[in-house]
Amino acid sequence: MGRLFGTDGVRGVANREVTAELALDVSVAAAHVLAASGAFEGHRPRAVVGRDPRASGEFLAAAVVAGLASAGVDVVDVGVLPTPGVAYLTAALGVDLGVMLSASHNPMPDNGIKFFARGGHKLPDDVEDAIEQRMGEPWDRPIGADVGRINVEPGITEELYISHLVDTLPESVAENGLSGLRIAVDCANGAASEAGPATLRAAGADVVVINASPDGRNINEKCGSTYMEPLRAAVVASGADLGVAFDGDADRCLAVDHTGALVDGDQIMGILAVALRERGRLAHDTLVTTVMSNLGLTLAMAEVGITTVQTAVGDRYVLEAMRSGGYDLGGEQSGHLVIARHATTGDGVLTALQLAARVAETGASLADLAASIPRLPQVLVNVGGVDRARAQDDPGVRDAVAAAEARLGQDGRVLLRPSGTEPVVRVMVEAREQAVAEQVANELAAVVKERLAL
């Protein structure tokens, strides 16, 4: 059996891999591990539990709440709330543990369990491993007054989260907020269906809302940040200044300008990095990105004196780099951005708010702001039927990569990496011209196919 915890908690098909029994067991084990670490000493332990609106989240959240309470933990059940909202409340309420039931941008049948430590940070790997090891062990159950109590507080806690978000508006727009901006919002029929539009309205925007009627089955279904067509249409039809789209648990945000053109995570990061630097709030004048970020972002940042630090793909690696280097901003092309001054994890609603604030602050259109961060043509070829374990070591592949890099020079780059989730090797090439990127990518893919064939 593989490791229970993946890069973003426990995840799988609900009621098959992620069962009520698993949810209860892992919650009890989490309580025991934290108790053994001394986290509960001197006070009665407390936890916050939230979920996205998937139908399976109802029984899984009930199982988590039951597990924690049976282990003596008092629980604040906040109901449907974005993942970053649960992280924020974990810190703001001073509780010992946060738990979110969500599978983020995954399709409805999936679900997951994600834990946050005191302060709203993701649990370290060694704590997750300890939780897994203690699942199913015999234990002394508390009785009487020692069992946990459950308090259901969806409305109050959502208000706290929204108030926190609005308070992050920069001073330059604090007086008028987003007044005068019309923003279309695609809520993915997910966790931000209430909080997302409410936050932007509280900030002063005129908000046009689509896909904000979750029924337990329609989360991420041809909507949200993984399917941008409805938002494009809504922006154009409503004459909005911009549009923003969240994923199911609202830890991501992508945008479109007034014409419906996509503004991806790289461009949003670049826009916000420049804004923070101008305000003197970009630590070390540095932006943290992943190796999948477009070279256009790196070049645009260099032109304005901002350094980019690259990490492996995955928000956990971005967060690790940010915390170790003391950086303020980082993220991924997918729209998963972390603004460390205001959040401990990716927050799509916060990202949307800050992006709209930059439009209001500058008076420029989102299209003009995004144009300063051009996207170089990027070609990705997935090569199947090969031994991906040899991708980094084969001499012929290494020589082909070196030759491709020499050909592209400073105007492009090559990234070759084995997939962590599929039996393929990914060949990614960026260049100033689409035709060059396609030619180099296809030639390199042919070498990989020949050299690594099974």
**CA–CA distance, 91 with 88 (Å, rounded to integer):** 5
Which sequence spans correspond to the domains of the chain? 10-155, 168-371, 378-451
Rounded average pLDDT over 76-104: 97
Whether 168-371 and 10-155 are alike in CATH topology: the answer is yes
- Judged by DSSP in three states, 14 sits in strand
| Residue 419 appears among annotated catalytic residues | no
Cα 43 to Cα 30: distance, rounded to the nearest angstrom: 17
Catalytic entry in 56, 104, 193, 225 = 104
Exposure b/e, 299-332, CB count within 10 A at least 16 = b: ebbeeeebebeebebbbebbbbbbeeeebbbbbb
Residue 51, token pair as written in the block: 């979920």
Q: Which of 90, 117, 93, 128 is nearest to 3 (CA)?
A: 128
Q: Which CATH class is domain 378-451?
A: alpha beta
Cα–Cα separations (whole angstroms), residue 219 to 162, 224, 361: 21, 9, 33
Q: What distance, in Å, lies between the first and last C-alpha atoms of the chain?
A: 26
The type of residue at 181 is L
pLDDT digits over 214-231, tens only? 999 999 999 999 999 999
- Residue 16 amino acid letter: R
Reference 350, options 360, 341, 362; nearest CA is 341
Q: What is the pLDDT of residues 1-55, one digit of tens each?
A: 468 998 789 999 999 999 999 999 999 999 999 999 998 988 999 999 999 999 9
| Sequence letter at residue 135 | M
- Domain 10-155 in CATH: superfamily? Alpha-D-Glucose-1,6-Bisphosphate, subunit A, domain 3 (3.40.120.10)
The radius of gyration of the chain from alpha carbons, rounded to an integer in Å, stands at: 23
DSSP codes joined into one string, 250-296: SS-EEEE-TT--EE-HHHHHHHHHHHHHHTT-SGGGEEEEETTS-HH
Q: Do 265 and 336 meet the contact criterion of CB atoms below 8 Å apart? A: yes
Model pLDDT for residues 435-454, shown as the tens digit of each residue: 999 999 999 999 999 999 98
Could you read off the pLDDT of 298-328 as tens digits, one per residue?
999 999 999 999 998 888 899 999 999 999 9
> Quick one: three-class SS letters along 153-220?
CHHHHHHHHHHHHHCCCCHHHHCCCCCCCEEEEECCCCCCCCHHHHHHHHCCCEEEEECCCCCCCCCC
The per-residue pLDDT for 1 is 47
- The domain defined by 168-371 folds into Alpha-D-Glucose-1,6-Bisphosphate; Chain A, domain 3 (3.40.120)
